[in-house]
A and B are shown apart, each in its own frame.
Chain A
Amino acid sequence: MDLMEKKLELVELHKLEGHTDRVWNVSWNPVGTLPILASCSGDNTVRIWEQSSLSLTPGLASFGDEFECISTLEEHENEVKSVSWNAAGSYLATCSRDKSVWIWEVLGGGNEYDCAAVLIGHTQDAKMVQWHPTMDVLFSCSYDNTIKVWWSEDDDGDYQCVQTLDESNNGHSSTVWAISFNAAGDKMVTCSDDLTLKIWETDIAMMHSGEGYASCYISVQLVLICLEFAGLIFVHIQLTGQGINTSLGFLKIWFTRKVLLTPNDRDNIIASGAGDDAIRLFVDSNNDCKKTSP
């Protein structure tokens, strides 16, 4: 069936009410028999929602079953901007305009959330957190222009900042808005108010030795509408109008000049949205990952 011919419709299934200010980010727990959703808000809280299954067969929730808020995490002192579950669904990371990043441990089968770590280090608002797709390494990015890498060496929950990606290691020169990994976790892309996307190589071997986690790979300069960069082929789709908001939380377009990202887990395509109303898709024209000069 040709997808373009089929008329697609979005139908609202549930409305989850509880937050008292705008909801900035939501994220599904990647595992679990019952769907669990985390949300964070300008009301300084994080809420965990679980679908209560009334069916007789445990573990088989249907789309119609109601969601209820099973936990509210109220520790942040300012708006919470982002939530991220680790791959095992056992940790939830949150970050806030209060400059801190928190890690919560999931206990009691998803009913209890205990603070496992409070990570201080950013000197300005933390905009987004993202766990590495396979390892329990946490990345956060901020208005302070840096990306920080947090890791617990001894697996005892004692997370430390093990690397800061700033201008001195080819990092961004303005607010870093978003982070995204490919499925394998060996590449990371970040975007920033400095109008660039940067693609980073995360060296897993180096991660284990504790020497450092990411080095800059390619810097893509975005000039509003048109884009040229040697070595990359791009497809440029321009959408005008009021801007488009999320499909499944992956794509966002803002009215400022910053660039945002989506997870690029299919075929190494990076999709980005920007304040010039355009969505751009990038692929690497060379399929082997050699370092090129920015």
Chain B
Amino acid sequence: MTLGLINANPVVQAKKERLAHSITLDDKLNRIIITFTPTIQHCSMATIIGLCLRAKLKECLPLHYKVDIRVSPGSHADEDSVNKQLNDKERVVAALENPNLRQLVDECLCSNEI
């Protein structure tokens, strides 16, 4: 169910992989659920991709939107662990403040806009 957040699409294309994705927007609850499907079960980039999504959405969306980011059910070997990390606000903030991770995320986002 892809809705009007088409501007967010470029970020879903990670550097080397094509991802299948779905975005569900609940306008009444101001809630967005994004699911993405890494192409391989043991994709080590899964958390980075999720972080990129968060970083980009933080820039684009009004503050009051709540975003849940998950991998598509069954698409990743560490699905629960990845989902949990991506939705722990404190961990996400800490990750995005880590200079190495931030640089990686910035590079991913930057290359997508070209």
Q: Which residues of A are interface residues toward B (Cβ below 8 A)?
A: 42, 79, 81, 97, 125, 143, 174-175, 193, 224-225, 240-242, 254-258, 275-277
* In the complex with contacts A224-B29, A225-B29, A241-B87 CB distance below 8 A: no
* Contact among B29, B64, B87 for A242, CB-based, below 8 A: B64
- How far is the CB of A292 from the nearest CB of chain B, in Å? 30
Tell me the smallest distance from the CB of A173 to a CB of chain B, in Å: 10
Give complex CA distance A242, B84 in Å.
24
Set of chain A residues within 8 Å of B87, measured between Cβ atoms: 193, 256-257
Say yes or no: A256 contacts B94, CB within 8 Å: no
B106 at the interface (CB under 8 A from A): no
| Residue in contact with B66 in the complex, picked from A81, A143, A175, A255, CB distance below 8 Å | A255
B114 CB–A CB distance under 8 Å: no
Residue from the list A97, A241, A255 in contact with B89, Cβ < 8 A: A255
- For the complex, would chain B's binding face be called helix, strand, loop or mixed by DSSP majority? mixed
- Please indicate the chain A residues that have their CB under 8 angstroms from the CB of B91 in the complex: 125, 143
- Residues in B whose Cβ lies below 8 Å from that of A242: 63-64
Residues of B within 8 A of A143 (CB): 84, 88, 91
CB-based contact A193/B88 at 8 Å: yes
CB distance from B83 to the nearest CB of A (A): 10
Contact B63 A276 (CB under 8 A): no
**Bound complex: CA A174 to CA B81 (Å):** 10
Select A256's contact among B63, B64, B66, beta carbons within 8 Å.
B66
By the criterion CB–CB under 8 Å, are B84 and A254 in contact?
A: no
Asked if B89 and A256 sit within 8 Å, CB to CB, the answer is yes
Q: Are A276 and B84 in contact (CB under 8 A)?
A: no
Known pairs A255-B66, A257-B68; list 10 more (Cβ under 8 Å).
A79-B94, A125-B90, A224-B31, A240-B64, A255-B89, A256-B87, A256-B89, A257-B66, A258-B89, A276-B66
Expressed in whole angstroms, the Cα–Cα distance for A258 and B89 within the complex equals: 9
Q: Quick one: CB contact mask for B29-54 with A, threshold 8 Å, 1 for yes?
A: 10100000000000000000000000
Contact bitstring B57-82, A, C-beta under 8 A = 1, else 0:
00000011010100000000000000
Known contacts A174-B84, A242-B64; is-contact A276 B89 (Cβ 8 Å): no
- CB neighbours (8 Å) of A254 from chain B are 89
A225 to B26 CA separation, bound complex (whole angstroms): 13
Distance from A126 Cβ to chain B, minimum over Cβ atoms (Å)? 12
Given A79-B94, A97-B94, A276-B29, A175 contacting B68 (CB threshold 8 A): no
Distance A275 CA – B63 CA, assembled complex (angstroms):
12
Chain B residues within an 8 Å CB radius of A275: 66
Bound together, the chains give a CA A31 to CA B87 distance in angstroms of 39
CB distance from B63 to the nearest CB of A (A): 6
For residue A45, give the distance in angstroms from its CB to the closest CB of chain B. Answer: 16
* Complex alpha-carbon distance, A125 and B94, angstroms: 12
Chain B residues near A175 (CB, 8 Å)?
Answer: 84, 88
